[in-house]
Amino acid sequence: MIQQSTQPIIHFQGIEKSFGGAKALSDVSLTVHRGTVHGLVGQNGAGKSTLIKLLAGLHRPDAGQVEIDGEAYDHLTPHLVESLGIHFIHQDRLLVPSFTVGEALFLGREPRIPGTPFLDRRQMQRRAQEVLQRYFGLSLPNSALISQLSTAEKQIVQITRALLDRPKILVFDEPTAALVKREADLLFTLIRRLRDEGITILYISHYLQEIEALCDVVTVLRNGRHVATKPIAETSAAEIAGLMVNRDIGDLFPIREKSPGAALLTVEGLSATGRYRNVGFTLYRGEVLGLTGLLGSGAKDVLRTLFGLETAEEGTVTVAEQAPWRASPVQAARRKLALVPEDRRRHGVALDLSVSENTTLASLPRFTRLGLVDRASEAAEADRLITRLQIKTAGREALLRTLSGGNQQKVAIAKWLSRHSDIYLLDEPTVGVDIAAKVEIYALIAELAEKGAGIIVLSSDLPELIGLTDRILIFFRGEIAREVVSDTITEDALLAEVTGSSEATRYVG
Amino acid sequence: MSAVPALGAERRLVEAASRLALPVALVAVFLLFSALAPGFLAAANLQSVLVNNFTLLSIVAVAMTFAVSAGGIDLSVGTAVDFASFAFVSLVLAGQPVPLALAAGLGGGAVVGLFNAVLIAGIGISPFLATLGTLFIGRSVQQLLTNGGNPVYLPPAGVPESFHLLGRGSLAGLPVPLLIAALVIALAAVILARSRFGRVVTAVGIEAEVVRYSGLPLKAHLAATYVLVALIAAVAGLVLTSTVTVYIPNSGNAFLLNAIGAAFIGTTLHRHGRPNIAGTVLGVLLLSLVANGLLMSGLNFYWQQVGTGLLIFTVLALSFASRKV
């Protein structure tokens, strides 16, 4: 058993934070003790990342305060946070790819040759090697380019950069999402060692197994509230999963006649190194099929491959009876596939095009006579879809950026309705969408399915997935780990499958 | 609630005001030089503005507008002008029929466009860098072809009559070069604003990834855009050569900066600030009037650049300032 001091190092007191009308954190109080590994878990939208951004000084709390080392602050700034010895390791906080290891490690705090403005490259090299040898037993030349490193090596550079500052607190945000098992194990060993040297670790992860194996204490957030903080010895992955699940969601989902028809899309033996392995399934007419999995589970890559945005190395995708094709978005759209991408504002709609221009972008040939766009029939189509999808806009000529997130998403879907698509691939279709628009989008999905379209919904919103779909394919580390019938699975059980802690669940449940 | 429609009306007013910056500047410049420069208002002078300043620049600036619409830029428009000019002159000198020489001229421009298309759509180099490279390569190629940059003259005697029609002829009292420019402008306006191709090019300029995610061939549209830009610029090269009966290596680059300026000034005319042909043409008119007016008022030639620069600032500043209110 590790010696635990009872001295608090971070204490959040009554933290409140709203974005627009949405409450991200309400009255969150939480203490992290010195020299412990403290796990932080919660579903998407539970408030984990908001809390971490508060700690990083990127957001300002609306109310409440943060105490670091006994000193109280109403808000932090990134600069202050760094001077307090708090460092963040995040896989998305990318290092500049064209920098060398040395430049990345010392960016913004380069040691200088005393009395001159020149960089002390020798000292940089020596200090970097010292840390790398001591903690990782490896040497990376300072002159290597970041872009040449593997994900794990990039993470090592990030950690080394933090360690060079002799930090008091290290925050790991989903550090294993892109690591293979062996690399993750090495990371855990390192984290335990850092803890034993007195560094406090805040560890955020979706993988409950990791939390169970690594953390001393775990805190669960749900809907922006602090649900529980427990010593890991007194809880289990199953209990944590139960605490994470949001049980109070109303009946948002339409009742739908579920009668799958003929096979519409068949995927066989799809593989791509490092992304997914041997993925196969069939989508039927009138079916809503769910895909889910953690970041890096391969579910998103498969969806993108279906639309030709990524390529598989092996396997085939067949639409109806037609022969498999060489994938490209052009070909996919021609085969009546439609993609509503997750990053709506960069990929789904063009914010500076009008509602009308966005709506007909994928179906322009239908509105073209002799190479010229027939404005009258284009306007009629835009008006028809604005009415049908109840898109709230000042008019078809309004720019997309003047619409709310939910209405932008409806336009992203309308674009494919206009193209008469048959197979809809919806990637996190209701992220950033208000509840009213959410319900309308659910109703639209049900209506499309009833009219014979096939729909694949990729979502990490588990209640949504269970409520909306007929079947769910659960991806885990690149493979379809399980297929479940949506009616027969509870949210707790689904979460356990997604996070890979199903063994624990079965034990208890 | 009652404040909402008022705010809407106010916003519309502001929007209209910001779009007026260019036309207002045009009228102001016209009135200013009418007062300051004797002879500015003379019919002969105004015609010379149109034929000498406006015609060629408007064609090149229209070409540039397509590149800017697609979210890029083409620094090698002048290279396309020169290559067209060189191919045209070479074939006429070789005694080939004028129509064939004209076709070869367009082909010469198309080579530049295809080269850019490969760099930008094929390899994925940013338009700025790709066309900058083309500009440099084009410059060297022309020097190599002409023994270090010697002009290629067409002897007055050895040129067929049909040649002169293009550069010096007139139809219904209007100079042919001006008619050609008008035709190019009209066609370009229809293509950019009304055609499916123009719509997709505009979308590429606004958010290229959305075009790709909509199942449209992004690279094909990018490639076609840069070929079209070069073809339009090639027309300017043909008109230029017919007018002056000489090919001067690397003379096309003279249009580059004004063409860019006109295309960007022109965006202020559009409701959403998009590149558009009407705006570009007004921009060219403005730059042409200023160049001529400064000359007529007897100002030092070198001050003309300062005048042009100030004017671009003024129009853009007026437009953006009223937009921010």
Residue in B197, B211, B272 closest to A352 by CB? B272
Residue B15 lies in a domain: no
d(CA B118, CA B133): 12
d(CA A362, CA A187): 46
d(CA B30, CA B43): 14
Place of tokens 């100079």: B175
In this complex, do B200 and A415 lie within 8 Å of one another by their Cβ atoms?
Answer: no
pLDDT tens digits, B259-292: 999 999 999 999 888 999 999 999 999 999 988 8
Q: Which residues does A351 contact at the CB level (< 8 Å), separation at least 6? A: A345, A399, A400, A401, A408, B206, B207
Are residues B315 and B25 in contact, defined by beta-carbon separation less than 8 angstroms?
yes
Are residues B314 and B290 in contact, defined by beta-carbon separation less than 8 angstroms?
no
Are residues A253 and A74 in contact, defined by beta-carbon separation less than 8 angstroms?
no
Q: Among A326, A353, A370, pick the best mutation site for testing chain B contact (most B Cβ within 10 A).
A: A353
SS (H, E, C) B166-217: HHHCEECCEEHHHHHHHHHHHHHHHHHHHEHHHHHHHHHHHHHHHHHHCCCC
Nearest CA of chain A to the CA of B92: how many Å? 35
Nearest CA of chain A to the CA of B132: how many Å? 23
Chain A residues in contact with B200 (beta carbon < 8 A): 361, 364
For the record, the structure tokens of A173 come out as 């945000």
Beta bridge partners of A33: A8
pLDDT tens digits, B131-190: 999 999 999 999 999 888 888 888 877 677 777 777 778 888 888 999 999 999 999 999
d(CA A253, CA A463): 10
d(CA A27, CA A225): 7
Nearest CA of chain A to the CA of B12: how many Å? 13
Chain A residues in contact with B7 (beta carbon < 8 A): none
Residue B7 lies in a domain: no
ipTM for the whole complex: 0.87
Sign of the dihedral through C-alpha A462, A463, A466, A467: negative
Write down the CATH superfamily of domain A8-244.
Answer: P-loop containing nucleotide triphosphate hydrolases (3.40.50.300)
Cα–Cα nearest to A78, from A171, A155, A157: A171
SS3 A454: strand
Q: B217: nearest CA in chain A?
A: A330
Q: What is the pLDDT of residue A1?
A: 41
In this complex, do B209 and A373 lie within 8 Å of one another by their Cβ atoms?
Answer: no
What is the CATH number that goes with domain A248-336+422-509? 3.40.50.300
Bridge-based pairing of strands A37-41 and A200-204 is parallel
Between chain A and chain B, the number of residue pairs with CB atoms below 8 A apart is: 69
In this complex, do B196 and A365 lie within 8 Å of one another by their Cβ atoms?
Answer: yes
User: What value does the CA radius of gyration of chain A take, rounded to a whole number of Å?
Assistant: 25
In this complex, do B216 and A361 lie within 8 Å of one another by their Cβ atoms?
Answer: yes
Reply yes or no on whether the pLDDT at B7 is more than 50: no
Cα–Cα nearest to B179, from B244, B228, B235, B262: B235
Question: Angle at CA A309, nearest 5°, toward A304 and A310?
Answer: 80
Chain B residues in contact with A415 (beta carbon < 8 A): 214
Per-residue b or e along A318-332, where b marks 16 or more CB atoms closer than 10 Å to that residue's CB: bbeeeeeeebbbbeb
Q: What is the pLDDT of residue B11?
A: 63
Residue in B197, B200, B215 closest to A332 by CB? B215
Beta carbons within 10 angstroms of residue B67's beta carbon: 30
What is the average pLDDT across B220-235? Answer: 97
CA atoms within 13 A on the CB side of A343: 8
Distance of CA B131 to the CA centre of its chain: 15
Bridge-based pairing of strands A314-319 and A86-90 is unpaired
SS (H, E, C) B105-167: HHHHHHHHHHHHHHHHHHHCCCHHHHHHHHHHHHHHHHHHHCCCCCCEECCCCCCCHHHHHHH
Nearest CA of chain A to the CA of B17: how many Å? 19
Chain B residues in contact with A350 (beta carbon < 8 A): 203, 206-207, 210
The CA–CA distances, whole Å, from A78 to A30, A82, A88 equal: 21, 6, 11
Cα–Cα nearest to A438, from A424, A422, A426, A449: A426
d(CA A2, CA A337): 55
In this complex, do A373 and B196 lie within 8 Å of one another by their Cβ atoms?
Answer: yes
d(CA A55, CA A75): 9
Number of domains present in the structure of chain B: 1
Least-confidence region, from A53-57, A474-478, B4-8, B83-87: B4-8
Mean residue pLDDT across chain B: 88
In this complex, do B207 and A332 lie within 8 Å of one another by their Cβ atoms?
Answer: no
Distance of CA A370 to the CA centre of its chain: 45
In this complex, do B207 and A350 lie within 8 Å of one another by their Cβ atoms?
Answer: yes
DSSP A135-171: IIS----TTSBGGGS-HHHHHHHHHHHHHTT--SEEE
Reply yes or no on whether the pLDDT at B5 is more than 50: no
d(CA A105, CA B33): 61
Sign of the dihedral through C-alpha A50, A52, A57, A58: negative
For the record, the structure tokens of A290 come out as 């769910």
Place of tokens 């959040």: A12
Nearest CA of chain A to the CA of B207: how many Å? 6
Beta carbons within 10 angstroms of residue B107's beta carbon: 16
SS3 A290: strand
Domain boundaries along the sequence of chain A: 8-244, 248-336+422-509, 347-419
Cα–Cα nearest to A173, from A293, A91, A240, A296: A91
pLDDT tens digits, B27-70: 988 898 888 888 888 888 888 888 888 999 999 999 999 999 99
Phi, psi angles (nearest 5°) of residue B285: -60, -45
Nearest CA of chain A to the CA of B310: how many Å? 29
For the record, the structure tokens of B171 come out as 């139809």
DSSP A313-375: SEEEEEETTSPP----HHHHHHTTEEEE-S-IIIII--TTSBHHHHHTGGGGGGGEETTEE-H
Residue in A346, A347, A373 closest to B199 by CB? A373
Per-residue b or e along B191-226, where b marks 16 or more CB atoms closer than 10 Å to that residue's CB: bbbebbbbbbbbbbbbbbebbbbbbbbbeebbbbbb
The domain containing residue B197 runs over which residues?
25-319
Q: What is the pLDDT of residue B4?
A: 35
Residue in B197, B206, B216 closest to A330 by CB? B216
pLDDT less than 70: residues of chain A = 1-5, 20-22, 44-45, 91-94, 177-178, 246-252, 321, 323-326, 434-435, 502-509
Beta carbons within 10 angstroms of residue A85's beta carbon: 18
d(CA B239, CA B196): 29
- pLDDT band at B3, cuts 50/70/90? very low
**CATH value at residue B254:** 1.10.3470
Task: Compute the residue count for chain B.
Answer: 325
Per-residue b or e along B267-289, where b marks 16 or more CB atoms closer than 10 Å to that residue's CB: bbbeeebbbbbebbbbbbbbbbb
Long-range contacts of B289-295 (CB under 8 A, 24+ apart): B289/B26, B289/B29, B289/B30, B289/B33, B289/B49, B290/B29, B291/B53, B292/B33, B292/B40, B292/B45, B292/B48, B292/B49, B292/B53, B293/B29, B293/B32, B293/B33, B293/B36, B293/B37, B293/B40
Chain A residues in contact with B208 (beta carbon < 8 A): none
In this complex, do A364 and B199 lie within 8 Å of one another by their Cβ atoms?
Answer: yes
In this complex, do B202 and A353 lie within 8 Å of one another by their Cβ atoms?
Answer: yes
d(CA B259, CA B53): 12
- First-last CA distance in chain A: 29
Chain B CB within 8 Å of residue A341 CB = yes
Q: Among A307, A340, A343, A372, pick the best mutation site for testing chain B contact (most B Cβ within 10 A).
A: A372
Residue in B194, B206, B213 closest to A353 by CB? B206
In this complex, do B196 and A333 lie within 8 Å of one another by their Cβ atoms?
Answer: no
Cα–Cα nearest to A184, from A486, A477, A460: A477
Domains A8-244 and A248-336+422-509 share a fold: yes
Q: Which residues does A48 contact at the CB level (< 8 Å), separation at least 6? A: A40, A41, A42, A204, A221
Are residues A361 and A419 in contact, defined by beta-carbon separation less than 8 angstroms?
no
Q: Tell me the angle at which helices B218-244 and B176-194 cross, rounded to the nearest 10 degrees.
A: 170
Are residues A10 and A54 in contact, defined by beta-carbon separation less than 8 angstroms?
no
Place of tokens 């600036």: B61
In this complex, do B200 and A351 lie within 8 Å of one another by their Cβ atoms?
Answer: no
SS3 B49: helix
For the record, the structure tokens of A411 come out as 């336009």
Chain B residues in contact with A424 (beta carbon < 8 A): none
